[in-house]
Amino acid sequence: MFVGHLALGFAAKRVTPRASLAVLFAAAQLADILWPVFIAVGIEQVRIAPGITAFTALDFVSYPYSHSLVFLLGWGVVFGVLYRQLTGDRAAVAVMAALVVSHWVLDFLTHRPDMPIYPGGSTFGLGLWNSIPATLIVELVLYAVGLWVYVRATEARDRIGRWGFIALAIFLVVVYLASIGVAPSSIPGIYIPALAGVILLTVWSWWADRHRAPRRSV
Ligand SMILES: [Zn+2]
């Protein structure tokens, strides 16, 4: 899942208005930020297997440190506590931790049964990715709802806050749709674009969100 994770990041702005959208995205996507790093250094494994599901050509052979439920609970606590230490925002700890853990739940919906509860344990997944239409319906509805909550909770302070944000919201959907079924030609062809995407998403969402303010009426 991709834009579905970001949907929860958008929606979380409603409950943690002081947190940057970039941080909320990072929490919801933490598993997918750690994953390309762990693939690059070789402690997790992925295989390119076109057709393994309709939606993705990737076979997630092993990813216990980025994607097991137990590790995500741990990463969630680390992320939440670190955020509190850096910002003093106590109320956000639980929200950040919940966003990190939510990644497992959403991936469990879409992935084949390859999601571990703990390293070395049995793996689970409902396999929504076997159907492109079903995946699109679930994920785009989630995205629309998340976006709607964010738009209701914030307002543009200037043109960047309006157009920079609208461009980001559209760009994410375009990238998402363009990625369907694409088979990278090598393993670096997976993790290098993934890491570049993380940097772009972080900078863009931070920039657009900075030009928006919590709406007073909510
Ligand atoms: Zn993931």
pLDDT for 139-183, tens place per residue?
999 999 999 999 999 999 999 999 999 999 999 999 999 999 999
- Residue 218 near residue 14, CB atoms below 8 Å: yes
- Residue 134 near residue 53, CB atoms below 8 Å: no
Chain segment 46-75, per-residue pLDDT in tens? 999 999 999 999 999 999 999 999 999 999
Q: What are the residues whose beta carbon lies below 5 Å from ligand 1 (ion)? A: 31-32, 107
Confidence grade of residue 217 (pLDDT, cut at 50, 70, 90): low
- Residue 53 near residue 62, CB atoms below 8 Å: no
Choice among 25-29, 159-163, 213-217 with the minimum mean pLDDT: 213-217
CA–CA separation, 97 and 72 (whole Å)? 9
For residue 217, how far is its CA from the centre of ligand 1 (angstroms)?
A: 35
For residue 14, how far is its CA from the centre of ligand 1 (angstroms)?
A: 23
CA–CA separation, 174 and 172 (whole Å)? 5
CA–chain centroid gap for 95, Å, is 15
- Give strand ranges (E) for the chain: 45-48, 58-62, 115-116, 123-124, 154-156, 212-214
**Is residue 218 over pLDDT 70?**
no
Confidence grade of residue 136 (pLDDT, cut at 50, 70, 90): very high
Confidence grade of residue 1 (pLDDT, cut at 50, 70, 90): confident
Dihedral angle sign, alpha carbons of residues 111, 133, 12, 193: positive
Chain segment 176-214, per-residue pLDDT in tens? 999 999 999 999 999 999 999 999 999 999 999 999 999
CA–CA separation, 174 and 88 (whole Å)? 36
For residue 18, how far is its CA from the centre of ligand 1 (angstroms)?
A: 26
Amino acid identity of residue 70, one-letter, is V
- CB count within 10 Å of CB 108 equals 21
